[in-house]
Amino acid sequence: MAEAPNFQTEMRLLLRERALNAAREVVCTEGWGAVNMSRIAKDVGISRPVLYKEIGTRQALADALIERELGTFLSGIVDTLAEHPADPITGMTRAAEYTLHTGADNTLLKAVLSGRHSGDMTLLPALVTEPEPVLGRAIAALTVAMRDRYELATMSDGNLESLVEILVRLTLSHLFQPVGPIDRAVAQVELVITQVFTGLRGQVSAQRG
């Protein structure tokens, strides 16, 4: 009897993943406008009431889809930072490079961004303009990752968060509105991050002096 809750939890998580996978497939092939709860329920092999119970509304399905995709991106970014444990500027630059290359190949992101031309804009605001889930979660997660990975004892939490926010906003602008090759975008990110990071460290040194 003690194992029943764990089994039920696993089954609910499996159902949720299957629903998100089904929704992602529809978005990537037909756009978000083709997604409806009845269709996703049918694709997963459950009733619509069960899908509503586990996922919620259609908007909740969109939010969950974006959140899961963001989680994958953030895991890769944190792993990239870990590859440069003694050099935060290189780590942040390579993290931006990873994001831009991965984003360029991401079928869901391509489908969402293409909605700007087809009028299918439902998912785009959550990615580009709303502070949650993308921007806020990314800043919070990467601020923690930077603090954990690097020797930044002299940098205040506020300055570190500002540095990360600059990185995230600049990288997202290149991701969502590319105007040239990725290498050029990465070079811009590296230039800005180097200047800001060096400047913040200089301020701390001046204050200590």
Q: What is the pLDDT of residues 133-182, one digit of tens each?
A: 678 888 999 999 999 999 888 888 999 999 999 999 999 889 888 888 99
Paired tokens of 11: 């089954």
Q: Residue 84: how many CB atoms within 10 A of its CB?
A: 17
Q: What is the pLDDT of residues 104-119, one digit of tens each?
A: 888 888 777 665 445 4
pLDDT (tens digit per residue) in 37-88: 999 999 999 999 999 999 999 888 988 888 888 889 899 999 999 999 889 9
Which long-range contacts does 34-42 make (Cβ < 8 Å, 24+ apart)? 35/61, 35/62, 37/61
Q: How many other CB atoms are found less than 10 A from the CB of residue 78? A: 17
| Contact indicator for 134, 127 with CB cutoff of 8 Å | yes
In a 13 Å sphere around the CA of 130, the CA atoms on its Cβ side amount to 13
Residue 40 token pair: 């996703």
